[in-house]
Amino acid sequence: MVSAVASYVAERTGCQLSKQQEGRLRVAVRERLGARSEFEYLAFLKSAAGAVQLAELMAAVAVHKTSLFRDEAQLEQLSSQLLPGLLAQRPTLHVWSAGCATGEEVATLLVLLAEAGASADTTVLGTDISDAALQKAQALTFAAQAMRNVSESFREKYFRKEGEQFRLVPALKSRASFLRHNLMDRPYPLPPEGAFFDLIVCRNVLIYFTATAFEQVIDGLSERLLPGGALVLSSAEPLLQPRPLLKAVNVEQAFFYVRRGEPPFSSAAPKVPTPRPLARAITAELPVFNAEAEAVKLFELVLEWAAADAPDAQTEEGLRKALYLAPDLAAARYMLGLLLEQRGQRVEAAHEYARAVASLTSSKALQTAFFLNPERLTKACQLGLVRLGFTS
Residue ranges that bind ligand SAM, judged by CB under 6 A: 13-14, 62-66, 70, 99-101, 105, 128-130, 133, 182-184, 203-205
Give least dist CB 240 to ligand SAM, A: 19
From CA 90, how far away is CA 32, in angstroms rounded?
A: 49
In the bound state with ligand SAM, the residue whose beta carbon lies nearer, of 128 and 316, is 128
**Nearest-approach distance from CB 174 to ligand SAM, in angstroms:** 21
C-alpha span between 332 and 111 (Å, rounded): 34
Residue nearer to ligand SAM on the CB measure, 19 or 271? 19
CB of residue 146 to ligand SAM, shortest distance in Å: 12
Q: Which of 115, 125, 106, 124 is nearest to 84 (CA)?
A: 115
Q: CB neighbours (10 Å) of residue 27?
A: 11
Strand order in the sheet with 254-259: 176-180, 123-128, 94-98, 197-202, 225-233, 254-259, 246-251
Judged on CB neighbours under 10 Å (0-12, 13-18, 19+), 226 is buried
Identify which of residues 101 and 319 has a Cβ nearer to ligand SAM in the complex: 101
Smallest gap from Cβ 191 to ligand SAM, in A, equals: 17
The least distance separating ligand SAM from the CB of residue 261, rounded to whole angstroms, comes to 28
Smaller CB separation from ligand SAM, 101 or 365 = 101
Query: Is 105:201 a contact under the CB 8 Å cutoff?
Result: yes
Nearer to ligand SAM, 14 or 194 (CB): 14
What DSSP character marks residue 209? B
Tell the smallest beta-carbon distance from residue 214 to ligand SAM (Å): 11
Smallest gap from residue 279 Cβ to ligand SAM (A) = 20
DSSP code, position 235: T
Residue 99 Rama label (left phi>0; alpha psi -120 to 50; beta): left
Phi/psi region, residue 203 (left: phi>0; alpha: psi -120 to 50; beta: rest), is beta
What minimum distance in Å lies between the beta carbon of 216 and ligand SAM? 11
Task: Between 100 and 331, name the residue whose CB sits nearer to ligand SAM.
Answer: 100
Comparing CB distances to ligand SAM, the nearer of 107 and 329 is 107
Is-contact 302 335, C-beta < 8 A?
A: yes
Closer residue to ligand SAM in complex, CB, 184/301: 184
Single-letter code of the amino acid located at 260:
R
CB of 218 to ligand SAM, least distance (A): 13
In order, the DSSP letters of 311-357 are -HHHHHHHHHHHHHH-TT-HHHHHHHHHHHHHTT-HHHHHHHHHHHH
- Name, in order, each residue with C-beta under 8 angstroms of 50's C-beta and a sequence gap of 6 or more: 44
Nearer to ligand SAM, 182 or 361 (CB): 182
Q: Is 2:29 a contact under the CB 8 Å cutoff? A: yes
